[in-house]
Amino acid sequence: EEQLVESGGNMIRPGGSLRLSCEASGFSFNNYAMSWVRQVPGKGLEWVSAITWNGGNTAYAASVKGRFTISRDNAKNSLYLQMNSLSAEDTAFYHCARGFDSFFDVWGQGTMVTVSS
């Protein structure tokens, strides 16, 4: 079964940093581009960032550019999101998803990030 499992979510104070992880299983992770998509509970979906299969190309939403960094370790079947200078507006469930600029066909359940003083 193709599966994505996120971890690393936590409650953090404004201005703090957090690193999210996403472990893939059931498919050849190194063949696929990956993305992070976030969702405020009860609200819509917001694409955050994407990375190509080899990490050679990345893309970011304007709302996180310069603060978030996406990366991957294909040897560990893992995707990461380093989040710096966090603010209350970053509070959301963060899902990793398989895909880059066309569609997302495998999703993780998400990990919750809460930014609050």
Partner 1 sequence: QSVLTQPPSVSAAPGQKVTISCSGSSSNIGSNYVSWYVQVPRTAPKLLIYDNDKRPSGIPDRFSGSKSGPSATLGITGLQTGDEADYFCGAWDDSLSAYVFGTGTKVTV
Pairing label, strands 92-98, 34-39: antiparallel
- Phi and psi (nearest 5°) for 31? -95, -5
Binding-site residue total for partner 1 (CB under 8 A)? 23
Piece in contact with partner 1 (CB under 8 A), picked from 12-20, 22-30, 43-51, 70-78: 43-51
- Which of 60, 68, 80, 94 forms a contact with partner 1 (CB under 8 A)? 60
Q: Based on CB atoms, which residue is closest to partner 1, 16 or 99? A: 99
Amino acid code (one letter) for 3? Q
45 binds partner 1 (CB under 8 A): yes
Cβ atoms < 10 Å from Cβ of 107: 16
The sign one gets for the Cα dihedral 108, 47, 84, 117 is negative
Contact positions vs partner 1 (CB under 8 A) = 35, 37, 42, 44-47, 50, 59-62, 95, 97, 101-105, 107-110
